[in-house]
């Protein structure tokens, strides 16, 4: 219980630091949102009036405190560019990005875990060489490049879908999910290749331990040893790596949504940076950071359940 409470306290501190650093970082980015909103021809009086209305004339720590309290209440502020609540702008786009991330992560798990176990148990030299080549190939290809190839092959050449013609989930769940499958797979393949390599190495390391030789001497087969003992120990570093993969997939949606023209947080994030719409940028960065921290926290809890020695240490 003490370990869990300490981890929760560390989690809260990390979240507070993330919000502070995010807020401060956006204050030093070149470009004035007031000038962006009013244009270069605005008078000093107009700029001062707008700055006061937006609260930009207050000290930075005062602005941070007000923003943090509002954010905790579910109100991340008002968009500078659209003069509407940021929460309203994010509502529909957040669900698209979350579903895309979840799909990609699920693909990563369902592809990499079986293949990792299969390659770890494979004794054929040809099979090992084949999986090694495929692993290196997919690890070398960045998701956005796989996405571009997918759009060209399946969209332009085979005409299986219309590039850019995203169907909102509110109109058709199957149509919306169908459009997200390719971008999800484009992000999942490189992470799957890395996870397969890690799991394969982790399993083989576990199978070389002394307790495995003892289990063999008692008549257990390698398959039984793997299922009952070795896989549990081998999964500890893999769970941590999968948490990192989930975080990278979430941040990777910023690019992949541009490739497939998906109206998610990524496209809004990039356009908001260009227009210096700081309330929108802050909200998206903090939400992504919270997601990453929570995923790693969940990975710690899973590893503590898998290996009690982590709890003791």
The pLDDT, as a whole number, for residue 309 is: 64
Per-residue pLDDT tens digits for 215-235: 888 888 888 888 888 888 899
CATH of 86-270+280-312, one of 1.10.10.60, 1.10.3720.10, 3.40.980.10, 3.20.20.70: 1.10.3720.10
Average pLDDT over residues 271-292: 88
Average pLDDT over residues 23-48: 77
Q: Say what angle helices 125-140 and 86-121 make with each other, to 10 degrees.
A: 160
Per-residue pLDDT tens digits for 129-188: 888 888 889 998 999 999 999 999 999 999 888 888 888 888 888 888 889 999 999 999
- Please state, in angstroms and as integers, the Cα–Cα distance from residue 189 to each residue in 48, 52, 142, 296, following that order: 51, 49, 9, 21
Number of H helices, E strands in the chain: 14, 0
Domain locations along the chain = 2-67, 86-270+280-312
The pLDDT, as a whole number, for residue 99 is: 94
* CA–CA distance, 223 with 69 (Å, rounded to integer): 54
pLDDT surpasses 80 at 27: no
Per-residue pLDDT tens digits for 83-128: 889 999 998 899 999 999 999 999 999 999 999 999 888 878 888 8
The pLDDT, as a whole number, for residue 255 is: 92
Tokens of 285: 């960065």
The pLDDT, as a whole number, for residue 1 is: 65
The secondary structure of the chain, three-state, reads CHHHHHHHHHHHHHHHHHHHHHHHHHHCCCCCHHHHHHCCCCCHHHHHHHHHHHCCCCCHHHHHHHHHHHHHCCCCCECCCCCCEHHHHHHHHHHHHHHHHHHHHHHHHHHHHHHHHHHHHCCCHHHHHHHHHHHHHHHHCCHHHHHHHHHHHHHHHCCCCCCCCCCCCCCCHHHHHHHHHHHHHHHHHHHHHHHHHHHHHHHHHHHCCHHHHHHHHCCCCHHHHHHHHHHHHHHHHHHHHHHHHHHHHHHHHHHHHHHCCCCCHHHHHHHHHHCCCHHHHHHHHHHHHHHHHHHHHHHHHHHHHHCHHHHHC
The pTM of the full predicted model, rounded to 2 decimals, is 0.87
Average pLDDT over residues 14-34: 82
pLDDT surpasses 60 at 313: no
pLDDT surpasses 60 at 311: no
Q: What percentage of the chain carries pLDDT values higher than 70? A: 96
Kindly report the average pLDDT of the chain as a whole number.
87
The pLDDT, as a whole number, for residue 239 is: 93
Per-residue pLDDT tens digits for 191-212: 999 999 999 999 999 988 888 8
């Amino acid at each position: 219980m003490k370990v869990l409470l300490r981890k929760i306290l560390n989690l809260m501190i990390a979240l507070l630091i993330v919000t502070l650093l995010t807020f401060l970082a956006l204050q030093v980015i070149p470009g004035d949102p007031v000038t962006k909103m009013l244009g270069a021809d605005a008078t000093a009086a107009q700029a001062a009036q707008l700055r006061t209305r937006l609260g930009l004339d207050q000290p930075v720590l005062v602005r941070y405190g007000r923003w943090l309290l509002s954010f905790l209440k579910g109100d991340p502020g008002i968009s500078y560019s659209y003069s509407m609540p940021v929460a309203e702008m994010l509502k529909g786009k957040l669900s698209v990005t979350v579903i895309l991330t979840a799909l990609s992560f699920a693909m990563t798990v369902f592809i990499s875990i079986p293949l990792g176990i299969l390659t770890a148990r494979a004794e054929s030299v040809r099979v090992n060489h084949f999986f090694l080549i495929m692993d290196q190939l997919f690890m070398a290809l960045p998701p956005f490049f796989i996405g571009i190839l997918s759009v060209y092959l399946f969209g332009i050449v085979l005409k299986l879908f219309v590039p850019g013609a995203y169907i909102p989930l509110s109109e058709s769940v199957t149509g919306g999910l169908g459009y997200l499958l390719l971008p999800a797979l484009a992000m999942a393949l490189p992470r799957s290749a890395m996870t397969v390599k890690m799991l394969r190495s982790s399993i083989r390391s576990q199978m070389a331990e002394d307790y495995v030789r003892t289990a063999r001497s008692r008549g257990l087969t390698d398959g039984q040893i793997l299922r009952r003992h070795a896989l549990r120990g081998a999964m500890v570093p893999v769970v941590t790596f999968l948490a990192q993969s989930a975080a990278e997939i979430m941040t990777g949606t910023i690019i992949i949504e541009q490739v497939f023209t998906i109206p998610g947080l990524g496209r809004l994030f990039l356009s908001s940076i260009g227009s210096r719409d700081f309330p929108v940028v802050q909200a998206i960065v903090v939400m992504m950071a919270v997601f990453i921290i929570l995923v790693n926290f969940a990975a710690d809890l899973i590893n503590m359940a898998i290996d009690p020695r982590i709890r003791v240490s």
